[in-house]
Amino acid sequence: MKIRNPRTGHLDFSLRVVSHDEVAQLVSQLRSSQPQWWQLGMAGRVKVMHNFSEQLVAHREALIAAVAEDTGRWAESELEVDVTINTIHRWCKDAPELLAEAPPRKAHLPFLEIQPSYLPFDVVGVISPWNFPLLLSLVDAIPALLAGCSVIIKPSEVTSRFVAPLQEVIKSTPELSSVLKLVTGAGETGQAVIQHVDTLCFTGSVATGRRVGELCAQQFIPAFLELGGKDAAIVCDDADIEVASSALCWGSMVNAGQSCMSLERIYVHENIADEFISRLVEKVKKLRHNYPDIKVGEIGPVISDKQVAVIRQQLDDALQKGARALCGGHLLQLGGGFYCEPTVLDQVNKDMLIVTEETFAAIVVVQRVQSNEEAVQLANDSKYGLSAAVFSQDMANAYQIAAALKAGGISINDASLTGFVHEAEKQSFQCSGMGGSRMGAESIRRFIRKKSFIRNTGVASPWWFKA
């Protein structure tokens, strides 16, 4: 399979498509290696994962270069590799306590004693998207491995150049190579993974997530679905305008808007709207494309060519229906890559795709509201519910709004904090996902099956036959 380079447009990467039979064989190997991994115990697994992180550090430059080649952006690729390494450290620190077996306790019936226990799933499957290819391939794999599972990862076909250097890292951590495997390919390889694993973590679009959820149901395995969003920010009339405009410029434009927790809709109180919008536009206008030098500029190319058509359709639809571009408003072609002009749109409404559908680009829409209630109602009027943001200097007001929003992770006086604070549990609302929290304590517990040993301490149970 030939894969396009997001900066040049050239089909310069050959992706090996792993067949169904190969997936079956690899999962069978993972299944037979898992008991030994589990028997290693938490302390043993933590040691191996620390070695893994050391090897990632040793291969940092190669990984950054490959991720940058996959995605066409540099600064975010550095951040992605470093966040992945930090994620391993954090899990190595937290996992022993989170999965420590509780001491035995008396049951409600006092002659019975409960000893809680657990068993990890044998093989966890991970299917990941293209927007943060390395991080989103490992974000679930790391806690799953620490919990004692084997893991098979199928990254996005759009961004699989990083797989070769990552496989080198895995090879240099021998204890890991029998319990962590990567397979490359597109949807069919993903389907093969689903058919053989015991539980699945999927990150991707709502449309594919729905299909994946159905396939998992057919296999009778749990599916954890982390899907798209159309995140809203509410800027109240007492917000610090400087803070709100800087945070939202970053939160809507970082990674060229190609983040699930990108803030794509802003509802600003009319009392401060002119001042807020003018500062936001002033800041957005300063952002530069990272072309021709990948290391200079904040806005990278559109990574997936399929997304180009989506962005074009949404922009055309909005501009045709009366939206006004306060800055940007075009897709540019530079050196064979597609770059979205950093764009702020106003005069938008719910008839426009750009207000209702995930855009996944450096585009944010702004609507003026007359009250906080109206802002909450508009923010919640969406099929998505991933994350959101609230800006207000009155904390009681901010928390009240946060509580009313139908989304899992709400940043207060900042943007997209769920990308940095991984210990805060949150779930996805509505079409943005399904299953337990990927963050915090619950995250690692998605990979175990709870057990209880219930012991009779030496009394004849009163329900036994008396005869």
The verdict on 151 binding ligand NAD (CB under 6 A) reads no
Q: For residue 310, give both structure tokens.
A: 């989506």
Q: Is 212 in the site for ligand NAD (CB under 6 A)?
A: yes
Longest dimension (CA), the chain: 89
Q: Which of 205, 219, 313, 397 binds ligand NAD (CB under 6 A)?
A: 205
Interface with ligand NAD, residue 157, by CB under 6 A: yes
Q: Whole-angstrom Cα distance, residue 251 to residue 131?
A: 15
Active site residue 226: yes
CB neighbour list of residue 144: distance below 8 Å, 6 or more residues apart = 120, 121, 124, 126, 151, 201, 444, 447
Q: HSE of 3 in the Cβ direction (CA atoms, 13 Å)?
A: 22
Interaction mask 287-326, ligand NAD, x per CB under 6 A: -----------------x----------------------
Among 125, 133, 148, 190, binds ligand NAD (CB under 6 A): 190
Determine the distance from the C-alpha atom of residue 450 to the mean position of all C-alpha atoms in its chain, rounded to a whole number.
Answer: 26
Return the closest-CA partner of residue 266 out of 239, 288, 286: 239
* Phi, psi dihedral angles at 325 (to 5 degrees): -85, 115
Q: Tell me how far, at minimum, the Cβ of 202 lies from ligand NAD, in Å.
A: 7
Question: Nearest to ligand NAD by Cβ — which residue?
Answer: 190
| Set 175, 226, 357, 358: catalytic member | 226
184 binds ligand NAD per the rule CB under 6 A: no
Q: Is 186 in the site for ligand NAD (CB under 6 A)?
A: yes
Residue 113 CB, nearest distance to ligand NAD (Å)? 41
List binders of ligand NAD among 110-149 (CB under 6 A): 127-131, 136
Give the binding-site size for ligand NAD (rule: CB under 6 A). Answer: 30
The token pair at 287 is: 């952002």
Segment 29-68, which members bind ligand NAD (CB under 6 A)? none
Sole window of 10-18, 221-229, 237-245, 330-338 interacting with ligand NAD (rule: CB under 6 A): 221-229
CA distance linking residue 290 with residue 75, whole number of Å? 10
User: CB of 128 within 8 A of CB of 153?
Assistant: yes
Closer Cβ to ligand NAD, 113 or 305, answer by number: 305
Rounded to 5°, the CA angle 132-229-334 comes to 55
Answer yes or no: are the C-beta atoms of 331 and 308 closer than 8 Å. Answer: yes
| Residue from 77, 137, 156, 411 in contact with ligand NAD (CB under 6 A) | 156
CB atoms within 10 A of CB 102: 9
336 residue type, one letter:
G
Number of helices (H), then strands (E), in the chain? 17, 20
d(CA 97, CA 438): 17
Q: Using CB under 6 A, which residues numbered 257 to 276 contact ligand NAD?
A: 260
- Least Å distance, CB 225 to ligand NAD, is 8
Taking CB under 6 A as the rule, which mask of x and - marks residues 356-385 in contact with ligand NAD? --x-x-------------------------
Residues binding ligand NAD (CB under 6 A): 127-131, 136, 154, 156-157, 186-187, 190-191, 194, 203-205, 208, 211-212, 226-229, 260, 304, 358, 360, 386, 433
Catalytic positions are 226
